[in-house]
Every structure is written in structure tokens, then in C-alpha cells.
Amino acid sequence: MKNIFVGNLSFGATEDTVRSLFASHGVVERVSIVTDRDTGRARGFGFVEMTNDVEGDKAIAALNGKDLDGRMLNVNEAHAKPAGGYRAR
């Protein structure tokens, strides 16, 4: 399973739009666009899970820098959040 970060999404991008973009490169398990918990508006990034690691790597290579709705996507492998997190005081 390949977890992929997709940044610089337009605020109008939908899960269906992102799914169809990645589906041309392999099987998409799940798409999640991150939203602001207070306003419910998209925050401009999300995550895509692809079943096959090789297909995921090909999607990253093909889609990083691709224009979607006038914005160049930032696509790379997602990394787990560090334990404990960080909170500014």
C-alpha cells in the first residue's frame, strides 16, 4: 500500500477529481481531501492510497508538477506524523 501526499490542490478539487487523476496510473484504494475542522473548507492538500507500490511510484513520477485547475500539484510519498506532535505555545 502506497500512501501519497497531494499538495497545492485547488480549493474546488473534489475526491472524485483526484481519484480519476490517479486511477489512470493504477488502483486507488482511498482519497481523502483535508478540510478545516471549523469551516469545513478544503485546506488545499490531501492523501491518496494506492494498492500497488509500483503503481503508486509511477503516479508520483507522472503527476508531480502536473497542472490541475491552474495549480501545479506537489505529489510525493506521505510520511507518518512524528509521535507526540508539536504544539506552539
The pLDDT value given to residue 79: 85
What percentage of the chain carries pLDDT values higher than 90? 80
**Cβ atoms within 10 A of the Cβ of 1, count?**
10
Q: What is the pLDDT of residues 11-47, one digit of tens each?
A: 989 999 999 999 999 999 999 999 999 998 889 999 9
Distance between CA 6 and CA 3 in Å, rounded? 10
- Burial of residue 75 (CB within 10 Å: 0-12, 13-18, 19+) is buried
The model carries a pTM of 0.87
Homologous superfamily of 2-77: RRM (RNA recognition motif) domain (3.30.70.330)
Domain ranges of the chain: 2-77
Does residue 29 contact residue 21 with C-beta atoms inside 8 Å? no
Q: Using one digit for the tens of pLDDT, what is the confidence trace for 49-89?
A: 999 999 999 999 999 999 999 999 999 999 877 776 555 55
- The cell numbers describing 43, all together, are 485546506
